[in-house]
Amino acid sequence: SGVCTVTCGIGIREVLLTNGCPGTEAKCIVRVEECRGQVDCGWGKPISDSPASVKMSCIFISPENRFKYVWKMLIPNQPAVILPNDSAIMEVHRDTHPVTFQCETQEKGSVIASVKYTVYTTPGKLTRMLAIDTVLIFSLVTGIIVIVAVMFALIFIILHRPFGSDQRFVDINSQKRMPREEYKNKTSLYDVLPMYSSSLHPFAYF
């Protein structure tokens, strides 16, 4: 037998005959038969890829209507969503975020092939998304900087406020004490002067 035309899903291969071929040929093809590889074919390549839409294909061989096709939309951490499309070809429009699709080719209730596709966003939508993300990141960073600056300002005020209050208290007390001391000095001076005056002028009281 010849080599299968596929490594996954369903394909065909040639059955060769090495004896009894007509003429002088060493090998000849007797017939073509189906062959199958592993079920999971991994990631496929779209049939067509335009800025607005993507056309994808399930894995099959002719005749196409021999198989059943089940399209699914894969969502992370959630069950797959089965789509109403049951044809071998599906065309989807690009969305604002990447979407993953999977097609299962079934025969008599068994999955014989499976292929996945990722449909990415359009360049315009992707640019808008990047612009929105940039604005959000800038706003977040600005908000963090403002909050940190306010916190440092409050800490600075709290650390320096007691020192300033004590200093003002000392200055006020000093200003209040100074007039009393000056008054006391002046009073003592006036009390002393008459004593000297009476000793120098004994007849001052007559």
Of 22-31, 58-67, 119-128, the range with the lowest mean pLDDT is 119-128
- The pLDDT value given to residue 135: 78
Give the pLDDT band of residue 123 (cuts 50, 70, 90): low
- The pLDDT value given to residue 193: 46
CATH code, domain with 116: 2.60.40.10
- The pLDDT value given to residue 80: 94
Residue 102 lies in a domain: yes
Residue 30 lies in a domain: yes
- The pLDDT value given to residue 190: 46
Residue 204 lies in a domain: no
Same domain, yes or no: 43 and 117: yes
- Give pLDDT tens digits for 24-64: 777 787 788 899 999 999 999 999 988 889 999 999 998 88
- Give pLDDT tens digits for 163-181: 544 555 445 455 545 555 5
Residue 84 lies in a domain: yes
Measure the CA–CA gap between 112 and 10, rounded to whole angstroms: 7
Q: Between residues 67 and 186, which one has the greater pLDDT?
A: 67
Same domain, yes or no: 4 and 31: yes
Same domain, yes or no: 107 and 45: yes
How many separate domains does the chain show?
Answer: 3
Of 22-26, 61-65, 107-111, the range with the lowest mean pLDDT is 22-26
Q: 91 is in which domain, residue-wise?
A: 39-121
Same domain, yes or no: 100 and 65: yes
Mean pLDDT confidence for 129-139: 73
Domain boundary among 121, 139, 173: 121
- The pLDDT value given to residue 174: 52
Same domain, yes or no: 92 and 104: yes
- Give pLDDT tens digits for 177-206: 555 555 445 544 445 445 444 444 444 443
Two tokens at 119? 């449909």
DSSP 46-63: -SEE-SSEEEEE----SS
pLDDT at residue 129 greater than cutoff 80: no
Same domain, yes or no: 115 and 135: no
Same domain, yes or no: 49 and 104: yes
Same domain, yes or no: 30 and 50: no
What's the pTM value of the predicted model, to 2 decimals?
A: 0.54
pLDDT at residue 155 greater than cutoff 70: yes
Give the pLDDT band of residue 103 (cuts 50, 70, 90): very high
Same domain, yes or no: 9 and 78: no
- The pLDDT value given to residue 24: 72
Same domain, yes or no: 135 and 187: yes
Same domain, yes or no: 137 and 106: no
Same domain, yes or no: 192 and 133: yes
